[in-house]
Structure formats: C-alpha cells, structure tokens
C-alpha cells in the first residue's frame, strides 16, 4: 500500500475530525489529499470558519500554520507535516526590529504610523501590528487593505515585503518618490522627498522566489511567445510588475487562466507547482512558466511520507508537529487579522 493509499484510509477513519488544508504551491500528491486548497487568504478564512475539525493539518509554511492556529478555537490543534518549512521572507522581520523601526521612523519623520504586515510574517509581527492599531494583508486583498491604511491619514509602515507594498501603493496613486524604505540591518530610513511627504515606509524584505525574476525573463518570453499574456505575482519587483500585462495574487493568476479564451497563451511568474498544475488542468490553453527556477523549497518540503507520519502521530496521540502560538502573542495578532478579515 502506498503512502497516499494509507492517507486516504486514515482520512476515512477520522472523518470530520480531520481537515487537511493545502496551499496552491504544494505538490500534486499533496493537493490530491487536501479537503481544501487555497491561497493564503482563502486558507485563513477557511480555517476560521471550520468548527468541526479537531485536527487541522496544514500543508504549507510556518506563518500559515500560525495564522490558522490564531484563527481557530483552543480545542482545535493545527499540525504541520514539514514542521521546519518556514518562509525566508517572514524571517526578515522580528519584533525587536519592528520596535526599533517604529522608534527610528517616529523620531525622523515625527509622524503617526499605521503598521500593515503581509500575512507572510511571524505571529509576533502580526501582534506588533495589532498592538499599534494596524492590520495584516495578503496579496489577495492588498488594494483594499492599503487603501484602508491610506484613509487613516498616517504614514503606513508596510512589512516585510517591499515589493507587494510598493506595487500596491503605486496602484493606489502614491508616487514612487513618496515611498521611503527602512533597512532593518542598518536601522536606517532612506527617502528622496521631504519628511512631510513620505506616505509609506517599505520594509526591505522580499521573497527570493519572486524577487529574482527579471525584466530579461519577460523580454525573452515575449520574443518566443509574442502573442502570450505575461502575468506575475505582486511579490515580484516593481519593474517586473510594470513590464507584465497583469499582476495579482495566486487566486488572480488562477482566474486569469481559467477565464481566458480557448487557445490563449499565458506566461506566469510564480511558483512552479502552481504553474505546472494550471498547465495540466487547462490543456486547451498554452501555459509557460516565466522563470523555470521559481521553486519554493520550503513549500516543497511537505510530501506524502511526512503527511502520513503526521496523521499516524495524531492517531497515536503524539502532537510533536503541532504549531502553537503563545497566548499573549496570539491575542494581539488576532486583532490585526480580524481587522483584515473585516475589510474583505
């Protein structure tokens, strides 16, 4: 019997007690086992709404499992099969660095700040935002949430993804010259406009998978497939987002292809598992990956073997792979997540 066969058997045995969630970047094998597949926004909403599963097995990366733990009830346990699968971008901001940034920005700009953190962040950063009247954001609701931030009439501190922050703020009419950058390594602020004209401070963090996509990738792809549409995830750099025909969250990328005309051609700048699945699903369209090296090794750490081990552990009462956020951190982080969820 294969690991997958045994996973399906256990799913049957456990029924509604067990919920398997998977992010779109997971491998096909993992996607087959999932009760629900989504982007980070949909998965967070789904976890919050589910009131029947005692065990939620999250096939994704650590910040997603933490979010699910914060949004679920105390009697629900969140477990992550690849417990060491983190997100290098989320690790680019910690609580001490955020407190220091607050001090530097307040001192230098003499302004009020509203912090907005991408959900791709540590729970302690979400808690920092919750304590300071801020919120979380995902790529799927970035326009709505950053617009909310603009309406607070304060300077937005957007962390940890500089690219998502810049792409979204620009779409909402904030010129590039009114965007400052904060470098947590040097604890310094860089900006070219007057102090009073800074509208948003972008944390110098990035996702290496999307950040390394270049304009040359787009130029080369357009040369080979001149009649294709190039669409990219907003974690790509500003120049890439501008050079593409469209940009948006994982959900947006999927919908563009799904709703595209028969025979249409798509070149997609995001994680390879998703692009491969779109290619296999929408065989009436031509689908290519923009950069073949777009692989998130962390997302790819989950496999049928560690998923099966996790399910067997649950049945034995072993919760070694449980993701549990400290209670005080979870309380503050919940405030920022709830603000976001009330906006979408």
Alpha-carbon span 129 to 124, nearest angstrom: 9
From ligand SF4, ligand 13P, none, interface partner of 40 (C-beta below 5 to 8 A by class): ligand 13P
61 binds ligand SF4 (CB under 6 A): yes
Q: What CA–CA distances, in Å, run from 157 to 16, 67, 166, 340?
A: 41, 21, 11, 15
Burial of 289 (0-12, 13-18, 19+ CB in 10 A): buried
78 binds ligand SF4 (CB under 6 A): no
Helices (H), the chain: 3-14, 28-33, 40-49, 62-71, 95-109, 123-131, 142-150, 162-171, 208-211, 215-224, 238-243, 250-259, 272-281, 304-316, 327-343
Q: Which is nearer to ligand SF4, 202 or 207 (CB)?
A: 207
Rg of the chain over CA atoms, in angstroms? 20
Nearest approach in angstroms of CB 225 to ligand SF4 is 24
Tell me which residues in 126-155 interact with ligand SF4 (CB under 6 A): none
Alpha-carbon span 297 to 86, nearest angstrom: 10
120 binds ligand SF4 (CB under 6 A): yes
Q: Which is nearer to ligand 13P, 50 or 270 (CB)?
A: 270
Nearest approach in angstroms of CB 2 to ligand SF4 is 27
209 binds ligand SF4 (CB under 6 A): yes
Nearest approach in angstroms of CB 328 to ligand 13P is 26
From ligand 13P, ligand SF4, none, interface partner of 66 (C-beta below 5 to 8 A by class): none
Nearest approach in angstroms of CB 261 to ligand 13P is 24
39 binds ligand SF4 (CB under 6 A): no
* Contact residues for ligand 13P, defined by CB under 6 A: 39-40, 120, 138-140, 207, 235, 249-250
Q: Which residues pair with 17 in a beta bridge?
A: none
User: 155 and 197 in contact (C-beta within 8 Å)?
Assistant: no
User: 232 and 247 in contact (C-beta within 8 Å)?
Assistant: yes
Residues that bind ligand SF4 (CB under 6 A): 61, 87-89, 120, 207, 209, 235, 271, 296, 298-299
């Amino acid at each position: 019997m294969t690991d997958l066969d045994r996973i399906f058997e256990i799913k049957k045995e456990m029924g509604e007690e067990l919920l398997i969630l998977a992010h779109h970047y997971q491998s096909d094998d993992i996607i087959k086992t999932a009760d629900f597949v989504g982007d980070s926004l949909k998965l967070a909403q789904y976890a919050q709404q589910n009131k029947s599963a005692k065990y939620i097995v999250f096939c994704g990366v650590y910040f997603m499992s933490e979010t699910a733990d914060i949004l679920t009830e105390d009697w629900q346990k969140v477990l992550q099969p690849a417990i060491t699968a983190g997100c290098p971008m989320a690790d680019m901001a910690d609580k001490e660095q955020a407190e220091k940034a607050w001090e530097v920005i307040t001192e230098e700009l003499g302004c009020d700040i509203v912090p907005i953190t991408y959900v791709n962040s540590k729970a302690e950063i979400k808690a920092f935002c919750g304590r300071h009247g801020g919120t979380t954001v995902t790529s799927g609701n970035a326009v709505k949430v950053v617009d909310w931030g603009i309406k607070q009439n304060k300077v937005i501190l957007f962390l940890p993804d500089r690219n998502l922050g810049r792409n979204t703020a620009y779409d909402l009419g904030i010129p590039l010259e009114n965007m400052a950058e904060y470098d947590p390594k040097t604890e310094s602020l860089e900006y070219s406009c007057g102090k009073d004209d800074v509208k948003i401070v972008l944390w110098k963090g990035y996702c290496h998978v999307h950040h390394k996509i270049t304009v040359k990738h787009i130029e080369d792809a357009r040369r080979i497939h001149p009649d294709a549409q190039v669409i990219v995830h907003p974690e790509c750099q500003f120049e890439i987002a501008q050079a593409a025909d469209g940009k948006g969250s994982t959900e947006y990328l999927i919908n563009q292809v799904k709703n595209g005309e028969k025979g249409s051609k798509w070149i997609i700048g995001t994680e390879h598992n998703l692009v491969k699945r779109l290619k296999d699903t929408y065989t009436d369209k031509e689908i290519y990956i923009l950069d073949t090296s777009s692989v998130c090794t962390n997302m790819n750490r989950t496999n049928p073997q560690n998923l099966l081990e996790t399910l067997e552990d649950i049945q034995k009462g072993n919760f070694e792979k449980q993701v549990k956020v400290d209670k005080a951190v979870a309380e503050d982080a919940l405030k920022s997540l709830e603000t976001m969820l009330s906006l979408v």
